[in-house]
Amino acid sequence: MLRIMNVLFLCTGNSARSIFAQASLQRWGLGKFNAYSAGSMPKGRVHPLAAELLERNNYDTSLFRSKSWEEFSVKEAPALDFVFTVCDRAANEVCPIWPGQPMTAHWGINDPDQPDLSVDQQRQLMKKAYMELDHRIRIFTALPIEKLEKLSLQKHLDDIGKALPTDYTDK
């Protein structure tokens, strides 16, 4: 029996994209992965439109909160197996030293939090971000991680960061 692996998703504000990734991995990686999310400058709340989308997709949004990545750099934090940045800004920031020497990859997603747009336009951006991350998470959870050599696994992780769904119609 394989041990459950710990995955941290990082974004600057930890209010939408990293929350979407955490939610999707909790769903598709159940029994294989523990999913976490955090931000370098957390907004302190899950974006209301992100919460709305998650609720529409049958997630319990009470489980999600916006938090600092510092929570995962302390000695008591879970040892991480993977750390994925999901926004370009977080990918370019100097990250803390993560317990467990995790594998890392950048899965950049455009920021759906665009207050200058209408609520309907923002909803569409939230949906697109969620669908892209959900697609990548499904690919990730299907990888035979325990059978891949580290270099091969790293290539798969990097390639997943470029994967896009072909259909944005449901959800």
The DSSP letter of residue 110 is -
Write the CA distances from 106 to 42, 123, 171, integer angstroms. Answer: 19, 24, 24
Given 38, 80, 87, 129, the catalytic residue: 87
CB 86 within 8 A of CB 39: no
Tell me if residue 85 is catalytic. Answer: no
Only one residue has tokens 């950048």, namely: 106
Alpha-helical (H) ranges within 84-167 are 88-91, 119-142, 150-160
Tell me if residue 87 is catalytic. Answer: yes
Given 11, 49, 133, 137, the catalytic residue: 11
Tell me if residue 11 is catalytic. Answer: yes
> CA nearest 137: which of 60, 33, 24?
24
Alpha-helical (H) ranges within the chain are 17-28, 48-56, 88-91, 119-142, 150-160
List residues with catalytic annotation: 11, 87, 95
